[in-house]
Amino acid sequence: MDIPLRNRNRNERIYANTNIPPVYIGVPTAEPRGKSRPWKRAVHEISRKGTHLYEPVKSVPSAFLVLLLAGYLLLGYLAQLIEDDLTRSVADSDIAHGDPTSFSEESALRYLNQLVGDQPRVAGTPYHLQKSSELKGILDGIAEQAAVPVRTDWQIQGGAFLRTGSTPHITAYADASNLVAMIEGEPTQPAGRVDRSILVNCHYDSVPFALGASDNAAFCAVMLETLNRMSRRKQRYKNNVIFLFNGAEEVGLQGSYAFVNHTWFKEVKAVINLDSVGINGKPNLFQATNTKLLDSYQRHVRRPNAHALGELLFHSGLVPSDTDFRVWSSFGGLQGIDIAFFKSGHVYHTRLDRPPPCAGGCSRPRGTQCWGCWRTLLMMRASGSSRRRLRQSTSTTSTYTCSCTPSEPPTTSM
């Protein structure tokens, strides 16, 4: 076809300084100059803009948008499959009685039902005292059947401390209750030597309007089962393991402040803090200050979960909440990791926080994560200090501890 000279000169002037092939009026558009791959030509056609008033801007094809949305939904579905891939529930009959390395979810759920009860466990109430006495009985029973030395203690503490932040204030408290159990390690270190104990912390109290099955009785049950299994080991660990069942966390982190003054605390070298803002799914590591614990977590936990964004939000103050990890870090000078689970967060601090919604298999990942975290540190001899030097506190506290049977609980003001 012969193109009129007038149209040919017009198109040559328009496209003289562009890489876009000329478009002649009245004839099909020419192919792009040079050899290019099909996907490059497709991207070029989608992204290129018109170069003059008469050439329309190319719009994104609807098929491309549909594929993009489908890919996004598929990615979300696969991520949810990984999140819901809980381990198989393990019963007592599946593991040997004296196996110190296994975790029985059946046993952990029994502990959970014992701890939860039928009322909120608010610190300072008679029901909280009753549950504290029952928990002390469970710890004493585990200690009696242990193959290695296990010591238990019921700490009652009063004192005051300064809380900094947007509104600094002094918090005074009395009769804060903590239940503690310690698996004694090898007696190779001098008595009173610092940095030979690992602290594992959870809290068993609840808010006034919730039974607190997930926050935080579930992790308490995991710690009880882990303590029960670890105490059956014939050979001592190289380090002590302190299991702290914190009885006053929901009232301003008072229980953790109280334990800082405990005799056993001066030997702690690292802490693993366990808490919850949900009731299902896999636990997530969201705060960390100890590289050895991070390495152990990565090596020994199946499909580990960690969120750096959580640490950023907590340190920025955007989250109107806190965990005992701040006390261990700021007041205790400890390093460690903070673990919690977040799925089904709508039940957090509500009357829905009770045992039935907890899916089968959700307790075992918590147990295996806890065991994986302190596995390396237990077999490692204490060397160096992981504490930070802190200024000596000017606050004064009166501290006393007592070890008593469930039938003779310590006197408290209720």
- Report the catalytic residues: 249
Question: What stretches of 85-210 show up as alpha helix (H) in DSSP?
Answer: 105-116, 126-144
Q: How far apart are CA 201 and CA 334, in angstroms?
A: 13
Could you give phi then psi for residue 258, rounded to 5 degrees? -65, -40
Contacts of 194 (CB under 8 A, 6+ apart): 266, 267, 269, 385, 387
* Both structure tokens of 121: 């466990």
- Nearest in space to 101 (alpha carbons), one of 292, 378, 306: 378
Angle at 378 between CA 254 and CA 87, to 5 degrees: 85
Instruction: Provide DSSP, 296-321.
Output: HHHHHSSS--B-HHHHHHHHHT-SS-
Query: Tokens 């076809």 belong to which residue?
Result: 1
Cβ count near 226 (within 10 Å) = 22
**Distances from the Cα of 351 to the Cαs of 117, 210, 212, 220, in angstroms?**
13, 5, 8, 19
- Nearest in space to 133 (alpha carbons), one of 4, 247, 217: 247
Cis bond before residue 216 (omega within 30° of 0):
yes
Q: Is 232 exposed, middle or buried (0-12, 13-18, 19+ CB in 10 A)?
A: middle
Query: Tokens 């009026």 belong to which residue?
Result: 25
